């Protein structure tokens, strides 16, 4: 979330009652997400300790686990606080669709997944390597991807399919996965 906010792809609604920063009055802090991160970090730390200490006993005699077990409620309380603060934070954000579309347009290499899936379907077993050599570590343009497509030995209908893909409309299996989770 921090990165999306930092890149201004997601904006936080201002709350006049909140202090942005003691030294930067223009700043709108993601206070709910920061609070969630702190609580979930504490919960994870406590639960990890619980999982490591309760399962081990020195000579079948120590009573550490009884003390540790008393803190299970506290660990889950921090989980609950973290989830609630995440929910509160999500209620305060808005996507900047224009900025997101701009970002997608500048990063067309994300189509690599779609390209290699289609190329594999067409019998290119080395589809990953083809895309890797063309896109890895590069800021690729649509024109460069299209030139790569033109060099491939594929049917015109497949060439048209590949050239028809654009980052702004490529979601992969996201729609299906969301429906599956619901």
Going along the chain, which residue ranges are E strands? 10-12, 93-95
What percent of the chain lies above the pLDDT cut of 70?
A: 93
pTM: 0.68
| CA-closest candidate to residue 2, choices 30, 24, 44 | 30
CATH tag for 107-174 (out of 3.60.20.10, 1.20.1740.10, 1.10.3720.10, 1.10.40.30): 1.10.40.30
pLDDT in tens, 120-169: 999 999 999 998 888 888 788 999 999 999 999 999 999 999 999 999 88
Ranges of each domain in the chain: 2-96, 107-174
pLDDT in tens, 71-96: 899 999 999 999 999 999 999 999 99
Strand partners, 12: 93
């Amino acid at each position: 979330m921090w990165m999306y906010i930092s890149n201004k792809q997601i904006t936080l609604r201002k709350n006049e009652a909140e202090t942005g920063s003691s030294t930067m009055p223009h700043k709108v802090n993601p206070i709910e997400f920061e609070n969630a991160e702190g609580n979930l970090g504490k919960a994870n730390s406590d639960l990890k300790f619980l999982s490591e200490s309760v399962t081990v006993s020195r000579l079948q005699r120590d009573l550490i686990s009884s003390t540790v077990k008393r803190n299970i409620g506290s660990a889950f309380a921090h989980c609950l606080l973290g989830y609630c603060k995440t929910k509160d934070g999500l209620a305060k954000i808005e996507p900047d669709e224009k900025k997101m579309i701009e970002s997608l347009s500048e990063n067309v290499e994300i189509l690599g997944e779609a390209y290699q899936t289609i190329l594999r379907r067409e019998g290119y077993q080395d589809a990953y390597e083809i895309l890797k050599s063309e896109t890895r570590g590069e800021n690729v343009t649509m024109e460069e991807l299209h030139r790569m497509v033109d060099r491939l030995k594929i049917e015109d209908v497949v060439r048209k399919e590949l050239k028809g893909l654009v980052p702004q409309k490529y979601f992969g299996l996201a729609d299906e996965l969301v429906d599956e989770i619901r």
